[in-house]
Chains A and B, each alone.
Chain A
Amino acid sequence: MKLYFKFVAMQLKCQMQYKASFFMMALGQFLVSFTAFLSIFFLFTRFHTVQDYSFSEILICFSVILTSFSLTECFVRGFDVFPRLIQSGNLDRILVRPRGEIFQVLTSTIEFSRVGRFLQAAAMLIYAIPASGIAWTPDKIFTLLLMLIGGIAVFSGLFILYAALSFFTIEGLEFMNIFTDGSREFGRYPLSVYGEGILKFYTYIIPIALFQYYPFLYLIGRSDDFRLSLLPLLGFLFVIPCYAFFRFGLRHYQSTGS
């Protein structure tokens, strides 16, 4: 863990070398997600509810997705840019060092400029928490935290899956963005608004709904079943097959010629 912070410090030193670039990236990230927020905001100035969900309820949903996604993007970015790691041959370097592969991939890239997106998400969450009218009893706070953590787990799993696939096709796998960026975009609204099919897909195939939709129902009082709030924990199970697939890919690693 101590070593992790040393890597963080190293990455910070490197990225601070390019101050202007860093701040512009952060600002850009902020603006991009801010327009997403505006689109929801204007939608609600015309229609006051979407499938009976109020504006502040949707906002909770949106900010949970965005917070967990931006945190994942910041700290699990190494897997997101994994094809680059293979192409540049830096994976070879990682493999000749006596530390776990996962740990080293995680520390190979830490994207602090994603802080822009994170601040946006955090601000929205801070606004939505009192505005939603939810009585914040300990179980509700617990549910919210689990949602965030579960979200990080599922998004990390997706990134690892993406990285694992790149062992087999060195080229970037843009179609995987449907699942990562796509999930983020879909996840702005409670997944039930898209209909039964999408909800099932995001429950059983890519378990976004496990940390977004079901515990959200408990959070806003549509359901009294406390078990729903524990569902994000199942999201952690999603990481296991992703990790196993990554290990499988690593054994078939071909490296690049030199």
Chain B
Amino acid sequence: MIELRHIQKTFRVSRRSAGLSQAVKSLFRREYETVNALQDVSFTIRDGEMVGYIGPNGAGKSSTIKIMSGVLTPDGGECTINGRVPWKERTAHVREIGVVFGQRSQLWWDVPVIDSFELIRDIYRVDSQAYHKTLSRLTELLQIGEIVKTPARQLSLGQRMRCEIAASLLHNPKILFLDEPTIGLDAVSKLAVRDFIRAINRENGTTVILTTHDMQDIEALTERILLIGKGRILLDGSLSDLKARNSSHKTLTVAYEGGVLPSWEEITVKENKEGRAVLSVDTRTLSISEAISRISAAVGVKDISVTGESIDELVVSLYQEFAI
């Protein structure tokens, strides 16, 4: 159980204008600006949930993850995770969590991955029987049986990311924080990582909190979305809520022959040439079935497809709606 109430965090950042003279000036007098990274963040996540934490760059995603993992101390507010305050009982807390910082490695660069795993086992005091059980399961699921014998520096990004994820799960954490786990991965590796995250959530009941910019990750993995912008939680709901709320417009793509498409009040024609038309229907005023029957009455329909707004578009429209 993760509970955050009114978490605040400010950073002091030094600012100066461009140019050498300004740089010299800032040597002596520096101007600081206070940045409110997190203004008022509150949410609750139950055990076993899988939550997507999204927001534009600089919205405060990583800061929140760092507070929840005990790295940063917030300036105000309360945070309890499994009954503990992360930054107060750091060692007890981190034993129960796994963290993957997508852009940083936790493996020792110059030695085979398996050596890193063994040291991590000792750091977390995992007993050898449990370790072997977890390791064999992880190597099987992530297909890293062969590559763990290679030094980390020689792995491809996709291989390394799979090893990173394995490394953060060796101690069987109850909660897994993934900070951009699919960043820079190719399609195959992304799918492998997603499958794995889903499996670990379903089979071990691991709570997963995932930050990402990849909307396919969100669509494939999470039921619940937290949208953060300018240091506040703007939206907390399920993916289908979000879709229902924003996708009242459906797009109809029609291929037709014979006849001319008339114009209706409820249907906007976005594109229409060479027997192919893209139409937008506001489902609040006109049902999809009604729209289709009107179209097929007017022209000879060869093919028709209905699509909602893509999740990417959805998120962009959300950003616009909240002006972030």
Asked if A and B bind, the verdict is yes
B interface residues (Cβ-Cβ under 8 A, vs A): 11-12, 58, 62-63, 66, 69-73, 90-92, 94-95, 97, 99, 101, 103-104, 106, 108-111, 115, 119, 122-124, 151, 179
Q: Which of A98, A99, A255 contacts B72, CB < 8 Å?
A: A255
Q: B124 to chain A: which residues have CB within 8 Å?
A: 97-98
Question: Is the beta-carbon distance between B66 and A93 smaller than 8 angstroms?
Answer: no
- Residue of A at shortest CB range from B118? A6
A177 in the interface, Cβ–Cβ < 8 Å? no
Q: Which of A10, A95, A100, A252 contacts B108, CB < 8 Å?
A: A10
A253 in the interface, Cβ–Cβ < 8 Å? yes
Question: Is the beta-carbon distance between A96 and B62 smaller than 8 angstroms?
Answer: no
**Contacts A14-B110, A92-B104 known; A99 to B66 CB distance under 8 Å?**
no
- Residue of B at shortest CB range from A91? B71
Question: Is the beta-carbon distance between A96 and B70 smaller than 8 angstroms?
Answer: yes
A interface residues (Cβ-Cβ under 8 A, vs B): 2-3, 6-7, 10, 13-14, 17, 88-90, 92-93, 95-100, 251-255, 257-258
Question: Is the beta-carbon distance between A10 and B91 smaller than 8 angstroms?
Answer: no
Q: How far is the CB of B61 from chain A (nearest CB, A)?
A: 9
Told that A254-B11, A258-B101 touch, could you supply 8 new A-B pairs with CB distance under 8 A? A7-B119, A13-B111, A13-B115, A17-B110, A89-B101, A90-B104, A100-B91, A258-B103
Q: A97 to chain B: which residues have CB within 8 Å?
A: 94, 123-124
Q: Which of A13, A93, A99 contacts B104, CB < 8 Å?
A: A93
Q: How far is the CB of B62 from chain A (nearest CB, A)?
A: 5
Question: Is the beta-carbon distance between A14 and B62 smaller than 8 angstroms?
Answer: no
**Contacts A10-B115, A98-B124 known; A93 to B92 CB distance under 8 Å?**
no
Q: How far is the CB of A72 from chain B (nearest CB, A)?
A: 24
Q: How far is the CB of B178 from chain A (nearest CB, A)?
A: 13
CA distance A3 to B120 in the complex (A): 10
Q: How far is the CB of A120 from chain B (nearest CB, A)?
A: 27
